[in-house]
């Protein structure tokens, strides 16, 4: 393992929330987002973490924000912990590489999901209804098939321990209004399509992803939270896609190793989480590091 995982932070700042992965503090009117190495699977947070996972997620978010014009504006103020004030700098060793000072925005109450392939909950919906979030799809599609065109499929935001719920675009309009819903859909598809084209050049398939947005006081829509990370997105190796039989899905660059292991147990997917073997943790950490190197061309 590369380092001891950071599972929890305790800073001399007002703690606003502690989610599945991120600790969020108030920082002089902005927000300090610390991405820990916490691991969740099947909506259960584990006592063990994946070393450097938080650094991978942060580095990739910063990479995409810097690389794709479509990702701008982004809520980042600075990722330099030494420029975040003495209360942050005092913990620089544990926070460096996993922390962002960001704007405080009025956040949208929906997750903006874009799907390029029929997998996951989309596949389950399709099997049951022939549709995904209100989108009627052709008959005869199989698990892992590319969709005719990327689909914007919003979801509600769930509390820790609960599932996000897929909703129709019409339901989203009821929640945020027609103009905002149209703006979120257009921006989400723009970012997704730009990222798909970039990833393809790196031999990577971007399968699906989810975005979060907020508004500044002047009404500007701003991309927030993580961007196109292995926790918010599904990536496949292009070679694996070509060599995987239709109806099956390739391995993804995320915590699938953990999920696959858990499926071999008799665990009921409720707390407390089972203890993971060291080799499962080490292989998962390597998979995350591989993701940042393959996508960005830079090591962690």
**For the chain, which domains are there?**
1-104 (3.30.200.20), 106-243 (3.30.470.20)
Distance of alpha carbon 23 from alpha carbon 99, whole angstroms: 10
pLDDT value for 166 = 86
Tokens at residue 141, please?
A: 């599609």
In contact, 269 and 278? CB cutoff 8 Å: no
The whole-angstrom separation of Cα 132 and Cα 70 is 26
214 pLDDT above the threshold of 90: yes
| Predicted pLDDT of residue 133 | 84
Task: Evaluate whether 250 touches 119 at the Cβ level (below 8 Å).
Answer: no
Hey, which residues does 25 pair with through a beta bridge? 15, 32
Long-range contacts of 77-84 (CB under 8 A, 24+ apart): 77/30, 77/101, 77/102, 77/103, 84/27, 84/32
Please compute the mean of the pLDDT values over residues 52-70 and round it to a whole number: 98
- Does a cis peptide bond (omega within 30 degrees of 0) precede residue 195? no
Strand ranges inside the chain, DSSP E: 15-18, 22-27, 30-35, 38-41, 44-49, 76-78, 99-102, 106-107, 110-117, 131-132, 135-136, 146-152, 155-156, 204-215, 221-224, 233-237
Q: What is the pLDDT of residue 1?
A: 41
User: Over the stretch 66-93, which tens digit does the pLDDT of each residue have?
Assistant: 999 999 999 999 999 999 999 999 999 9
Mean pLDDT score, 20-33: 96
Instruction: Give the per-residue pLDDT at 300.
Output: 85
Q: For position 164, what pLDDT does the model report? A: 76
pLDDT class of 53 with cuts at 50, 70, 90: very high
Residue 138 near residue 216, CB atoms below 8 Å: no
Pairwise CA distance, residues 165 & 151, whole Å: 16
Residues 47-58, mean pLDDT to the nearest whole number? 97
pLDDT at position 134 is: 85
**With contact defined as beta carbons under 8 Å apart, do 109 and 181 qualify?**
no
The whole-chain average pLDDT of the chain stands at 95
Element (H, E) at 98: none
The answer, yes or no, to whether residue 193 has pLDDT greater than 70, is: yes
Q: How far apart are CA 214 and CA 277, in angstroms?
A: 39
Q: What is the pLDDT of residue 160?
A: 53
% of the chain surpassing 70 pLDDT: 97
Q: Tokens in use for 70? A: 């479509």
Q: What digits encode the pLDDT tens for the residues 106-136?
A: 999 999 999 999 998 899 999 999 999 889 9
138-176 pLDDT, tens digit per residue, is 999 999 999 999 999 999 986 654 567 888 899 999 999
DSSP 8: -
Percent over 90 (pLDDT), the chain: 91
CA 290, 299, 87 angle in degrees (round to 5)?
Answer: 110
pLDDT of residue 289: 96
Q: Using alpha carbons, select from 246, 214, 255 the residue that is nearest to residue 40.
A: 255
- Indicate the pLDDT class of residue 2, thresholds 50, 70 and 90: low
Dist CA 87 CA 9 (whole Å):
13
Residue environment code for 183-200, b if the CB has 16+ CB neighbours within 10 A, otherwise e: bbbebbbebbbbbbebbe
């Amino acid at each position: 393992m590369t380092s001891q995982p950071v599972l929890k932070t305790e800073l001399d700042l007002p703690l606003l929330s502690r989610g599945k992965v991120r600790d969020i503090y108030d920082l002089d009117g902005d927000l300090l987002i610390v991405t820990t190495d916490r691991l969740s699977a099947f909506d259960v947070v584990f006592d063990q973490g994946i070393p450097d996972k938080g650094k991978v997620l942060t580095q990739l978010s910063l990479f995409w924000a810097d690389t794709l014009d479509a990702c701008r504006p982004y809520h980042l103020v600075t990722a330099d912990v030494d420029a975040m004030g003495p209360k942050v700098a005092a913990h620089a060793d544990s926070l460096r590489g996993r922390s962002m000072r960001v704007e405080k925005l009025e956040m949208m109450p929906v997750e903006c999901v874009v799907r390029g392939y029929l997998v996951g909950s989309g596949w389950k919906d399709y099997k049951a209804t022939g549709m995904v979030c209100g989108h009627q799809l052709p008959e005869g599609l199989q698990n892992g098939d590319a969709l005719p065109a990327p689909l914007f499929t919003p979801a509600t935001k769930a509390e820790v321990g609960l599932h996000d719920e897929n909703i129709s675009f019409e339901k989203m309009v009821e929640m945020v209004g027609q103009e905002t819903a149209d703006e979120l859909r257009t921006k989400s598809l723009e970012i997704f399509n730009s990222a798909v084209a970039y990833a393809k050049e790196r031999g990577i398939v971007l399968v699906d992803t989810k975005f979060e947005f907020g508004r500044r006081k002047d009404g500007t829509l701003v991309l927030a939270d993580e961007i196109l990370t292995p926790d918010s997105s599904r990536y496949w190796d292009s070679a694996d896609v070509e060599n995987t039989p239709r109806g099956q899905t390739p391995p993804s660059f995320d915590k699938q190793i953990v999920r696959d292991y858990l499926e071999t147990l008799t665990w009921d997917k409720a707390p407390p989480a089972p203890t993971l073997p060291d080799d499962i943790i080490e292989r998962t950490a390597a998979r995350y590091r591989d993701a940042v190197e393959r996508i960005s061309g830079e090591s962690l």
